[in-house]
A = this chain, B = another copy of it.
Amino acid sequence: MYNQLILPDLQMMLRENDAQGLREFCEALYPVVSAEILEGLEAKQIWQVLSNCDVERQGEIFGFISLPRQVELIDAIDRKRLAKLIEEMAPDDRVDLLSRLEKDRIENLLPLVAQAERSDIRKLLSYPEDSAGSIMTTEYASLPADITVGEALLEHLRKQAPDSETIYYVYIIDEGRRLQGFVSLRELVLAPRETAVSEIMTKDVISVRVEDDQEIVAQELAKFDFLAIPVVDRQNQLVGIVTHDDAMDVVQQEATEDAHLMGAVYPLEDSYLQTPLKTLFWKRGIWLMLLAGVALVNADVLKHYPTAAKNYVWMILFLPLVLASGGNAGSQSATLIIRAMALRNMSRKENIGMIVKEIQVGLFLGLCLAGIGFVAAVYWFHRTSLESSVVASTVLIVVILGTLYGALLPLTLRKFGMDPAIMSNPLIASIMDISGVVIYFNVALWILGVLVEDS
């Protein structure tokens, strides 16, 4: 939006080397807007623009540039300048960037980074991917419990503000950095100056563990409508906070991951347009090959009913209906269950409740679709009622079975610690295709009796 409007201006300023204009571009706009516009330029030009403002602002804007571009950009500057920039970036942003680089490149760079930031980086890099530790920031505001509100506001927070991502939630810690409580800036501002912080602080602090999955962190933060949630280690020592904007990123990232998986795409790390063709090809190809494999197994199963297929060619007509009904019903169940699990943790009782509900719905839907299948077979395709009942019975069975598969497979995967979303719609459909074929021909054998009668 801004993009198209300001990019030509910016390019002109670059050509004219308009230092004043370029500095204004960096400083007057929101950093995220500057970053968005800068992405339209070449790496060299981006640095030329950024050079016009101080390194603090550079770090801020740089943090909003997309990761693949960040990686590309740091190739264009020397190590010393990069080290300075990294010192200025937000702790969580710089760790995101560094975790994209090779190990020895990081080791090459870190000695140039100031001591404090260096050890902070090493600590944050050590947390497993997608854990609370990997998304938290270490720049939080904290207070001892035994000071007054006035001291907190006029001395402590004033000192901490420039280096804290938020000062709206302030955490109270003891000498051992153990989390004792928290107080909001709102409470501090409204309380009389001489009140002790310990008097107004909330002692029942909701926190997450540093090794907790980022999805749990986002769920907790969303549930309590918090601005930030504190992250503690096993000793209940405060090690960082996760802020609402990071939780929002997690929610969007997890929703994207789930959507991709359910569409049978291995989740992309970057935005679609920034993902290289080769990556896109692999992340889809691997699933398509697996699914093609399942389809070929299906062909192999079909081979066992050769005379059936020959003598009952009419049965082929209803193959799409029979296969689709089971797959579609299964996709629906899987979708509903996977999404419900993504929104919050389910108890055992709730899981059972979901399965019972699925069976009931599956039964109703199966009866309904079987009815449609029967009527269509008789009146549209002029089959006998015995033949039509083969179609109807099969549809009933595959819909119930599909619903069951769709409900049970994600729950089972979760139980074994896997991501339930890998039960993609196409995968459920493929699995149901095989069952569908077997059921279809066996139902025919059972109802029509003489299926395998060689011609």
Contacts and interface: CB of A to CB of B under 8 A. Distances in A.
A136 interface: no
A190 B167 CA distance: 11
Where chain A touches its partner, the secondary structure class is helix
Interface stretch (A49-57, A71-79, A373-381): A373-381
A262 interface: yes
A393 B343 CA distance: 43
A40 B301 CA distance: 49
Contacts of A324: 291-292, 294-295, 426, 429-430, 433
Given A265-B332, A281-B364, A320-B433, 13 more contacts: A227-B227, A262-B425, A263-B425, A272-B340, A280-B361, A284-B329, A288-B368, A288-B399, A289-B372, A292-B324, A302-B316, A303-B317, A324-B429
A186 B158 CA distance: 9
Given A168-B185, A313-B306, A295 B325 contact: yes
Contacts of A225: 32, 245
Interface stretch (A94-102, A173-181, A246-254): A246-254
A276 to B, nearest CB: 10
A442 interface: no
A12 interface: no
A374 to B, nearest CB: 12
B252 A343 contact: yes
A337 interface: yes
A10 interface: no
Contacts of A265: 332, 335-336
Interface string A153-187: 10001100100000110000000000000000110
A186 B161 contact: yes
Contact of A284 (B3, B298, B342, B365): B365
Copies in the complex: 2
Interface size class, chain A: 35 or more
A284 B368 CA distance: 11
Interface stretch (A18-26, A80-88, A124-132, A349-357): A349-357
A397 to B, nearest CB: 15
Contact of A263 (B4, B158, B189, B336): B336
A350 to B, nearest CB: 6
B206 A186 contact: no
Contacts of A251: 248, 251-252, 255
Contact of A316 (B30, B190, B224, B316): B316
Contacts of A229: none
A248 B255 contact: no
A291 B425 CA distance: 14
A134 interface: no
Tell me which of A256, A294, A334, A338 has the highest count of chain B C-beta atoms within 10 A of its own C-beta: A256
Nearest to A202: B30
B288 A339 contact: no
A112 B87 CA distance: 59
B318 A256 contact: no
B157 A189 contact: yes
A271 interface: yes
A222 B256 CA distance: 15
A167 B190 CA distance: 11
Closest 8 CB pairs of A and B: A263-B335, A255-B255, A225-B245, A295-B321, A425-B425, A298-B320, A299-B317, A272-B340
A13 B245 CA distance: 40
A399 B433 CA distance: 19
Given A252-B222, A255-B255, A320 B299 contact: yes
